[in-house]
Structure formats: structure tokens, C-alpha cells
Structure 1
Amino acid sequence: MNSLETFIILAALLAGPLILAPLEHNLEPYCFALGLIAVTVNRQWEWHLLRKAALDPLPLTITVIGAGMLFGVLRPMLDRRFAAMRRRLPRPLLAGLVVLIVGLLSSIITAVIAALMLVEGVALMGLGPAERTRAVVLGCFAIGLGSALTPIGGPLATLAASAMNLNFADLFKLLSPWVLPGIAAVSLLTAYYTRGPYDLVAVSANPSPHERTRQALTQGLRIFAFIVGLILIGEACAPLASHYMGKLSDGALFWANTISAALDNATLVAIEFHQIGRQRAQAALLSLLVSGGMLIPGNVPNIVCANKLSMRSGEWARIGLPLGLTMLGIYFALFLIVG
């Protein structure tokens, strides 16, 4: 694929969802279609690529479907337990614990299921509109960070592990010294911003078993299509992307990745993470993870929570942008110190 064709594919991938709302709302099938086009134009239909695209997304897809169905079954019991905790714990402590728990569990139950748990917890917590927005945005930062600790946590982790040939434990070893303190800090911020008494009656509707199954299957299939599309795009564009990305310094790549605030951060992983060193990958991943929380389109959990709670982009940005830029500045300074 020549430079012009690569540019057109990448421009469509990066700009399409920003310009056209229907593409933003159907990001998964859009990426899948672009992946098919990219590989076809590149005449790259080979057995090893088909096998990679078909098999690499399966662990995450199966986890999303299974965890979604299990969460639906356990939801009434979890709601009762949460209501009991609400009577015993002050609101700041409960809010901080919810964010800490979903952040840590997201690498096991997947970012999508963690986002659904966050929505449920916020609905049952008795928060006003301002506190609810802060809790959701902060919770999505925690989920975005935590979900990168294993390849089944989310699309970004799956794609990074695939591109760098990492096994299940390697991502945890690579990122946990940076991610775990970030999750703890975000949890403390959540407790601070939600201080005060419970002030609203919590109401939560429980969907029917048929609806739960449909939702879980739909989420799983959309995630599968999304990852397949990004794997195909990444393979088709890898030579040219590696050439240009290789010319950027580690610091320049760190800040260039803030574009993932307006895109799903897994998109850039598919483009960048070929023949990348450990230290460079560490900094690039942290930048993508934090930037992904700054705006709604930046990460799948953001989209899930914003849709479920009818949150507007401006509401999210007022909290996400300053928090994300502060976290990026801290991480960048630490990378410079550690060297």
C-alpha cells in the first residue's frame, strides 16, 4: 500500500468518527469495514493474518459475553449488597471504593463490564448531577488504566499484547508500577469530590433475561469486529507507520498520543505498536491510557457510561481535560526522572 492509500485509510479512521456522528456511534463496524478495505487494497490476504485476526480477539470477546451474562444474573443480589453498604458507609468512602474496585477488576472482567458496574454503582449511590458526573469521569479514568493490565481487559490491551507478542503476565509487569498508583489517586479524588450525605433516592431497572443475553452478545460481537478491524488496519499500515513513528522521540510520541482523547485509544495502538521497545511502549501506553479518559470518544467505557447516563461531551470535558492533562504532566515528569 503506497503512502497516499495509507494516508486515506488513516485519515478515514481518525477523522471519520469526529466528523460524522453516525460513524462515532457505530465505531466498531466502521473499523471492521476499513480493515477489510485496507487489507484488500494492500493485497495482504494471507493465512497467518486471517488466523491472527480471528483468534486474537476471542479471549476478550468470550470474556465480555460471559461476564455480561453473569453480571445480569447477579445484578439483583449485587444491588441488595450495595444498598446495605450504602446504609453503613459514608458516601465519599463508598464512592472511592467503587472506583477503586472497578478500576482493579477491569483487567479481569473487561472494561465494558466494569463500566456497566460503575453505572450501576453511581445509580445506587444517591449522587447529585455534579457529583455523578465527577464520579463517572473519574471512574472511567480508573477503568481505562486498569483494563490495560491484562490482554483481556480491553481492545487496547489485546492489540498491544498482540503487536508486541506479550504473554498474559507481561502487560501487568510492564504497566502495574505506573497504573496502580494512578488508580489509587483517582479513587481518592473521587472520594474528595463526592463528599457529603446521600441526597437522592436510588432507582435501578433490571432488564429481562432475554434483554440481558441480547446486550451481552451485541457487546461481544461489536468488540470482536472492532479488534479485527484494527488488527487488519495495523498490519496493512505497519511499514509506513513504523517508518514515521520511528522518527519521533519518546517525548514527542508521548504528547502526540494525546490525540487519543478524541479517538478510541486502541486505534493508535493498532497503528503504532510494531517493532517498539519496552521503555518507549511503556510511555506511549500510559499516554494513550490517560488521554483516552479526557473526552467521551477516547475509550469504550466512556462511551458506555455516557450513553447509559445521557452525559454530554461538554460535561465530560470540563472534568476530563484538566484531570487528564495534569496526570499526563505528572507521568511525563516521572518518566524524565526515571529516565
Structure 2
Amino acid sequence: MVDILLIIILLFVFILPFIFRKIEHNLEVFLLVMGLLATVVSKTLSFHLLGHVFSNYLLYLVTAVVLVMGFVFNLTVNKFKTAINSILNKIKIELFVTFVVLFLGLISSIITAIVATLILVEIIHLLPLKHKTKVKVAIIGCFSIGFGAALTPVGEPLSTIVVSSLNAEFLYILKNLGIYIVPTIIILSLLSYFILLHERKRGYILPTYDELLTEEEAIVKAEEKAILDLEARKDVILRAGKIFMFIVALELLGNGFKPFIDKYVVKLGDKLLFWINIISAALDNATVAAAEITPSLSTGQVKAILLSLLASGGILIQGNIPNIIAANKLQIKSKEWIQLGLPLGLILLLVFYLILFVI
């Protein structure tokens, strides 16, 4: 009965945000409720668990960085906008975005996924793009950062847990998975280039600020005002609070489902486990990795687990910290995210599966 209830909760997490608008607009509250339900059903809810959740340094680090960067952006938005406009007057926006996606993906393992994502979204904020196009750039950028941050234990909790669990050297993931991750980041950056070429043909890329026509200028000024409104002090604090709640919810979800993962998931064969790990699109992939990664695994098994977790983590907003930050700051809804996140994640999963198990 417990297992059935947990499966129902997982289905709710996957499906309900796409059915009910109120849930979609209050995703962090919904996930928090689902996380509490999962811990109650699995009988893992305790003061010890709550102490573990609220003693997690990442909870406060992410919230603090988002809060500080929000205020910094508020103070420097005009200079930042001027710098970006200057760049866009010299090179095409397609090339600029390609470089940004590539650079942030590669450097995220050093500056952390959190900082890389905040830089990404502040740049996207000021690009002369329509909202739908900004959503696509954000999703591809988050995929890139999610993969890149895994290269070292500094980048994100997933890689920290893996290196710690295996008692491996600092550059273990870079040495063993770099051959898969780095080309993936390059391909993602090229994908952003071709998507923007297509978006230009559809008229979703506006001229740079110095070339704007009167009507287009009004549109961009309206977008700028909306950006500044979003970055008002009250909204910066509110958004940081939502991200705090988001992370607590993911911690509870991960811990609530850990007994289920330990009981069923980790005992599956490599190929089936590869696909089952798509659950990390809705759960904290670091928690899934903690349950699955043990010193007894071969390097090939570790590769399969990590690549499936990284590819799945970009499918939904709640799949990864970069997704959560980007969606909150750029006002991206679940339905908008999954339109590109799902097909892109599935394609990456299929390619990795073919490379690992077929070719």
C-alpha cells in the first residue's frame, strides 16, 4: 500500500502542474505539500529529517546568492544593458548566445551551477528577444550548466555526492565522463545558435536597441520596465523565498522516496536503471545518485547512472537547481518548460543509451 501511494504521489508531481493553473502558478507550495506527503507515507518524516533538511548548506547558499545577485542586478542593470547592447552591435545575437551557453556550461564546474545560472538569466533578461525565445535559450542554457557543473565536486551537489561515495579523486568525473559531457555542452551551444536562426525568421528576435523602430522600441521598453519591476526589492526577496521553499520541497521529496528507490530502483539492471532514472526529472537528482552510487559499481555503471540523471534533470523545472532559478527569475511556467525540456531530454537519453549500450 505504501509503494502504491508513493507512485501516486510521483504521478501527481509529474502530471498535476500541467493540468491545474493554480498548481502551476504555485509550484513550490505544491511540491512542498507533495514532499511532506511522501515523507509521511514512507514514514521518514522526523525531527532528525527536518534537522537534516534545514542544516543543508546548499539551502542557504542558493537563497543567499539569489538574493544578493538580485539586488546587484537591480543596481547595475543599466550598465549591464549597455554592455550587452555594445556587444550585440558588434556581433549577431546568435553568436553571442552560443558563446554564453558554451562558456557558462564549461565554467559552471568552477563557479558553481548557481552562479552560472544567475549570470545566464540576467543576460537573457536583457536580450532583445520575445518571451518564447527567452524560454528556449534558458532551457538549453540550463541543460548546458547542469552537465558542465557535474565535472567537478565544486559545481553541484550531485557530483559532490558521487565523488564522496566512490572515495574518488577530485577530477574523477571529468576524466571518466568528460568525453561525453564536453561534446554535449558544445552541441547544446550549437543548438542555441540554430534555434535563434529559426527564431529570427519568425520575427522573434528584435533589432538591437540602436536600430529599433518606434513600435519595437515601445515593446522593448515595456519589457525593460517589467524586468525592473521584477527586480524591485520586494520581488527579489519574495523570489528568494520561493527558491528556498523549492529546495526544501525537493529535499523532502527525495527523502520521502528514498526507501522506494532503495527497495526497487537500485536493484534493476543497468539498461532498465538508465531509463528509470527519468524520475530525477521530478526528484532531486543528488538524492537519486546518493541511493544508487556505491563503490561496488563499475566505471561503466557509474557513467550510465550519471548521464541518465544529468539528461533527465533538464526535463522539468523541478529536476535541477539551475532550472528552478531560471524559471523563477524569467517567469517560465511548467507547460512552457516541458515543450522543449522533454524532447531535448529524451533525445539526449536516447543518444547516451545508444553510445553506452548499443554501439
Q: What TM-score, normalized to structure 2?
A: 0.70
Q: Residue 36 of structure 1 contacts residue 232 of structure 1 at CA under 8 Å; is this kept in 2?
A: yes
- Counterparts in 2 of 1:289 and 1:69: CA distance versus 1, 3 Å: farther
The Cα offsets for residues 198-255 of structure 1, whole Å up to 9 and x where unpaired, read as: 7524435265699443333333322332222332333343223212102322222222
Q: Distance in 2 between matches of 1:209 and 1:108?
A: 32
> Residue 205 of structure 1: SS of its match in structure 2?
helix
**Structure 2 partner of 1:49:** 49
What's the CA shift for 1:295?
5.9
**Structure 1 partner of 2:213:** none
CA RMSD of aligned residues (A): 4.2
Q: Residue 103 of structure 1 contacts residue 144 of structure 1 at CA under 8 Å; is this kept in 2?
A: yes
Q: Which runs of 5+ in 2 are unaligned?
A: 210-219
What's the CA shift for 1:301?
5.0
What's the CA shift for 1:273?
3.6
Q: Residue 105 of structure 2 contacts residue 146 of structure 2 at CA under 8 Å; is this kept in 1?
A: yes
Matched, 1:220 2:237: no
- Counterparts in 2 of 1:177 and 1:76: CA distance versus 1, 3 Å: farther
Q: Distance in 2 between matches of 1:45 and 1:309?
A: 32
Question: Mean Cα displacement is larger for which, 93-102 or 166-175?
Answer: 166-175
**Structure 1 partner of 2:262:** 242
Question: Mean Cα displacement is larger for which, 25-34 or 277-286?
Answer: 277-286
Question: Mean Cα displacement is larger for which, 133-142 or 204-213?
Answer: 204-213
> Residue 10 of structure 1: SS of its match in structure 2?
helix
> Residue 88 of structure 1: SS of its match in structure 2?
coil
**Structure 2 partner of 1:78:** 80
**Structure 1 partner of 2:271:** 251
Q: Residue 126 of structure 2 contacts residue 224 of structure 2 at CA under 8 Å; is this kept in 1?
A: no
Q: Residue 32 of structure 1 contacts residue 226 of structure 1 at CA under 8 Å; is this kept in 2?
A: yes
**Structure 2 partner of 1:200:** 207
What's the CA shift for 1:54?
0.7
Q: Distance in 2 between matches of 1:38 and 1:6?
A: 6
What's the CA shift for 1:130?
8.2
What's the CA shift for 1:272?
6.2
Q: Distance in 2 between matches of 1:137 and 1:295?
A: 10
Q: Residue 60 of structure 1 contacts residue 158 of structure 1 at CA under 8 Å; is this kept in 2?
A: no
Q: Distance in 2 between matches of 1:193 and 1:311?
A: 20
> Residue 291 of structure 2: SS of its match in structure 1?
coil
Q: Residue 6 of structure 2 contacts residue 41 of structure 2 at CA under 8 Å; is this kept in 1?
A: no
Q: Residue 110 of structure 2 contacts residue 154 of structure 2 at CA under 8 Å; is this kept in 1?
A: yes
Q: Residue 9 of structure 1 contacts residue 38 of structure 1 at CA under 8 Å; is this kept in 2?
A: yes
What's the CA shift for 1:161?
4.3
Correspondence 1:4-43 to 2 at 5 A: 4-43=4-43
Q: Distance in 2 between matches of 1:241 and 1:182?
A: 28
Question: Mean Cα displacement is larger for which, 141-150 or 205-214?
Answer: 205-214
Which of 121, 124, 137 is the aligned partner of 2:123?
Answer: 121
Question: Mean Cα displacement is larger for which, 228-237 or 142-151?
Answer: 142-151
Which of 189, 192, 199 is the aligned partner of 1:190?
Answer: 192
2:239 aligned partner, one-letter code: Q
Question: Mean Cα displacement is larger for which, 188-197 or 46-55?
Answer: 188-197
Correspondence 1:155-174 to 2 at 5 A: 157-158=156-157, 161=160, 173=174
Q: Distance in 1 between matches of 2:332 and 2:28?
A: 20
> Residue 267 of structure 2: SS of its match in structure 1?
coil
Q: Residue 69 of structure 2 contacts residue 118 of structure 2 at CA under 8 Å; is this kept in 1?
A: no
- Counterparts in 2 of 1:79 and 1:43: CA distance versus 1, 3 Å: same
Q: Distance in 1 between matches of 2:249 and 2:316?
A: 22
Question: Mean Cα displacement is larger for which, 172-181 or 20-29?
Answer: 172-181
Q: Residue 63 of structure 1 contacts residue 110 of structure 1 at CA under 8 Å; is this kept in 2?
A: no
2:91 aligned partner, one-letter code: L
What's the CA shift for 1:285?
3.3
What's the CA shift for 1:291?
3.2
The Cα offsets for residues 110-166 of structure 1, whole Å up to 9 and x where unpaired, read as: 65665564455346444578865654443232233234456786xxx4367469856
Q: Residue 118 of structure 1 contacts residue 136 of structure 1 at CA under 8 Å; is this kept in 2?
A: yes
What's the CA shift for 1:185?
2.0
Q: Distance in 1 between matches of 2:239 and 2:139?
A: 21
**Structure 2 partner of 1:274:** 291
What's the CA shift for 1:92?
3.2
Q: Which runs of 5+ in 1 are unaligned?
A: none
Which of 328, 342, 351 is the aligned partner of 1:330?
Answer: 351
- Counterparts in 2 of 1:240 and 1:300: CA distance versus 1, 3 Å: closer
Q: Give the percent of matched residue pairs that are identical in Structure 1 and Structure 2.
A: 32
